[in-house]
Amino acid sequence: MRMIRGGGSRELEIRRSRFVCTLARASGEAEAVEFLARHRRAHRDATHNCSAYVVGEHGEITKSSDDGEPAGTAGIPMLEVLVRRGLTGTVAVVTRYFGGVKLGAGGLVRAYGQAVSEAVDAVGVVELRPVLTVTVRVEHALAGRFLGDLHGRGVQPSDVRYGAAVEADVAVPMAEVEAFEAWAAQVTAGRAEVSRGAPGHIEVPV
């Protein structure tokens, strides 16, 4: 799955109406609903605050709202953009300030979809890749070489701790865990202690 790189907004004007799309990350439905409530309170002077969100590990929770626009002309086109982009953990709200010219159903569908699409392009997207945190524990005499070899592989530890020994936490793609453990044993001549931690995700720009 993918998610937006971060929050942000994008404005476009169509036939004197202003459409301001604001995007935010949401770890779950409660956070998405809370964000939308805050946004609507802050922009209660707008003609409409239409919304859509996709949350859940696999994007299984979706919801949209037309907020007074003709049924199916705002929330659904917004949601379709998020789903088509393969996004999750993402909430979008398009705040419309009516400019006096009616756009018709087709015009509204295009406007709301375009607003979300341009906002996603503006903030950027990252891909969520499953990883497992692997902790490698080595004695101080081996630490310099091990960390140097690690950097040589293009890998940056998420944390390095110096105590009685040196411990490095490395986020390893799920499919590469066994190969990484074998590599760590090889470069330390079998003197490394390797333990597996919690699964998670890393974000890779796309």
Residue 201 is predicted with a pLDDT of: 84
For 61-91, b/e burial (b = at least 16 CB within 10 A) is eebbbbbebeeebbbbbbbbbbeebebbbbb
Q: Which residues are CB-neighbours of 149 under 8 A, at least 6 positions away?
A: 187
Q: Domains of the chain, with CATH numbers?
A: 2-123 (3.30.230.30), 127-205 (3.30.70.240)
Residue 161 is predicted with a pLDDT of: 94
Average pLDDT for runs of 10 along the chain of length 206: 94 95 97 97 96 94 97 97 96 96 96 98 94 94 92 90 94 92 93 91 85
Residue 193 is predicted with a pLDDT of: 93
Residue 48 is predicted with a pLDDT of: 97
Residue 203 is predicted with a pLDDT of: 83
Residue 1 is predicted with a pLDDT of: 84
Residue 143 is predicted with a pLDDT of: 92
Q: What is the pTM for the complete model shown?
A: 0.78
Residue 200 is predicted with a pLDDT of: 86
Pairing between β-strand 193-205 and β-strand 159-162 as defined by DSSP bridges: unpaired
